[in-house]
């Protein structure tokens, strides 16, 4: 599930004429950075939700061979992160699935981070498994930390603790979480908190560099981070 329906207000004036997922970083759209990460771990189908300037995203993804794109159309009502997933549930099947934000991406090292997430997934003990980044791994992040990672991998809210980690915009979730939910606007944060209460929210710190692009002035640092990573690989 690729969350691409947001309004991208902080990215104005660029997003006056294009949806934020189509903003280009180092010659590749934010959306394609995420979809390429899915393709790299052999994901065959990806559901992409759309709301703002949806026809541009629909036209853009038509040229992709992998993964095959299924559109979840939210042009009538913007449903926020969790509401968008609930609406798309019939398209996602009955197995655990990846959730990706379309405005963040990362540079893998040797093993793709999405593969590392899949290897760490334990359906008997987990409802959600989040990919996390440290402040040192992050480019473009202006906020604090989100979660504290316990020795067993369980998460608690960081509440601003600088020892915490950032939610890096990628996760694996069990479909049963959304079984009784309504497709109305609401956030994934409620599901995170419920999973914390039940001891079923887990995290895995990513390897490599994590990049978030929230405003126009974040584009240049993002492109510099991509160039640095390419230089290290060379």
pLDDT in tens, 192-228: 999 999 999 999 999 999 999 989 999 999 999 898 8
Angle, helices 54-61 vs 30-40, to 10°: value is: 40
* Residue ranges of domains in the chain: 2-233
Alpha helices in 62-164 (DSSP H): 80-92, 113-120
pLDDT score for 234: 44
Query: Is the Cβ–Cβ distance between 206 and 105 less than 8 Å?
Result: no
For the domain with range 2-233, which CATH number is right: 3.40.50.2000, 2.30.30.180, 3.60.21.10, 3.90.550.10?
3.90.550.10
Element (H or E) spanning 37, and its range? helix 30-40
pLDDT beneath 70: ranges in the chain: 231-234
Q: pTM (2 decimals)? A: 0.92
What does the pLDDT read at residue 231? 66
Q: Are 48 and 56 in contact (CB under 8 A)?
A: no
Q: What pLDDT score was predicted for residue 194?
A: 94
Helices (H), the chain: 30-40, 54-61, 80-92, 113-120, 189-197, 219-233
10 Å Cβ neighbour count for 110? 6
The residue among 8, 29, 18, 10 whose CA lies nearest residue 222 is 29
How many CA atoms lie within 13 Å of 127's alpha carbon, on the beta-carbon side?
A: 18
Whole-angstrom Cα distance, residue 147 to residue 2? 22
Residue 170 pairs with which residues in a beta bridge? 100
Cα 62 from Cα 64, distance rounded (Å): 6
- Exposed / middle / buried, residue 93 (Cβ in 10 Å: 0-12, 13-18, 19+): exposed
Residue 153, Ramachandran bin (φ over 0: left; ψ between -120 and 50: alpha; else beta): left
From the CB of residue 59, how many other CB atoms can be counted at a distance below 10 Å?
Answer: 10
pLDDT of residue 160: 81
User: 184: which 2 tokens?
Assistant: 């109305």
* CA separation for the pair 137, 85 (Å, rounded): 28
């Amino acid at each position: 599930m690729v969350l691409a329906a947001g309004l991208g207000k902080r990215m104005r004036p660029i997003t006056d004429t294009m949806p934020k997922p189509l903003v280009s970083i180092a010659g590749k759209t934010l959306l394609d950075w995420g979809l390429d990460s899915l393709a790299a771990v052999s994901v065959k189908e990806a559901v992409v939700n759309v709301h703002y300037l949806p026809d541009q995203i629909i036209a853009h993804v038509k040229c992709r061979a992998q993964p095959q794109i299924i559109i979840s159309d939210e042009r009538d009502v913007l449903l926020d992160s969790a509401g968008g997933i609930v609406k798309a549930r019939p398209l996602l099947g009955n197995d655990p699935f990846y959730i990706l934000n379309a405005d963040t991406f990362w540079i893998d090292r040797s093993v793709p981070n999405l593969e590392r997430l899949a290897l760490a997934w334990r359906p008997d003990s987990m409802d959600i498994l989040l990919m996390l980044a440290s402040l040192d791994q992050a480019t473009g992040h202006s906020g604090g930390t989100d979660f504290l990672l316990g020795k067993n991998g369980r998460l608690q809210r960081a509440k601003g603790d600088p020892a915490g980690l950032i939610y890096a915009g990628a996760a694996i979730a069990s479909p049963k979480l959304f079984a009784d939910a309504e497709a109305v606007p609401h956030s994934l944060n409620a599901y995170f908190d419920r999973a914390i209460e039940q001891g079923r929210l887990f995290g895995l710190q990513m390897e490599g560099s994590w990049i978030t692009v929230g405003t126009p002035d974040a584009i240049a640092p993002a492109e510099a981070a991509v160039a640095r990573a390419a230089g290290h690989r060379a």
